[in-house]
C-alpha cells in the first residue's frame, strides 16, 4: 500500500452538513483512507488515500461531480 495525501481547494463555502456528506461520499471511494476538511481553512479538503488503488484526479473529479468548483493544490 502506498499512502498519499492530496489537498483539494473548494472555491465556494459549504456548510457543515454538506462537508459531512462530501466526506462520507469520499469514504466510499475504494482506496480512500481519511478524507477531512482542515480546521484552519474550511475550504481545504485533505484526503489520505492508497495510490495503488486510486489517484488524485479521480478524487478531484468525485468532488467536481458533486457540483463543487475545485482544484488540486500542490503539497
How many domains is the chain built from? 1
What would the pLDDT profile of 21-66 be if each residue is shown by its tens digit? 999 999 999 999 999 998 888 899 999 999 999 999 999 999 999 9
Distance CA 42, CA 26 (A): 17
Domain that holds residue 39: 3-73
Query: Quick one: pLDDT at residue 1?
Result: 87
**Looking at residue 75, what is its pLDDT?**
59
Q: Which CATH number characterizes residue 12's domain?
A: 3.30.70.100
What is the per-residue pLDDT for 44? 96
Q: Is-contact 69 11, C-beta < 8 A?
A: yes
User: What is residue 11's DSSP assignment?
Assistant: S
DSSP class per residue in 14-66: --HHHHHHHHHHHHTSTTEEEEEE-SS-TTEEEEEEETTT--HHHHHHHHHHT
Amino acid at each position: 500500500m502506498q499512502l498519499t495525501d492530496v489537498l483539494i481547494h473548494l472555491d465556494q463555502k459549504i456548510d457543515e452538513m454538506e462537508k459531512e456528506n462530501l466526506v462520507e461520499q469520499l469514504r466510499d471511494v475504494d482506496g480512500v483512507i481519511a478524507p477531512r476538511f482542515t480546521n484552519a481553512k474550511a475550504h481545504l479538503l485533505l484526503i489520505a488515500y492508497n495510490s495503488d488503488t486510486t489517484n488524485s484526479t479521480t478524487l478531484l473529479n468525485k468532488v467536481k461531480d458533486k457540483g463543487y468548483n475545485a482544484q488540486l493544490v500542490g503539497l
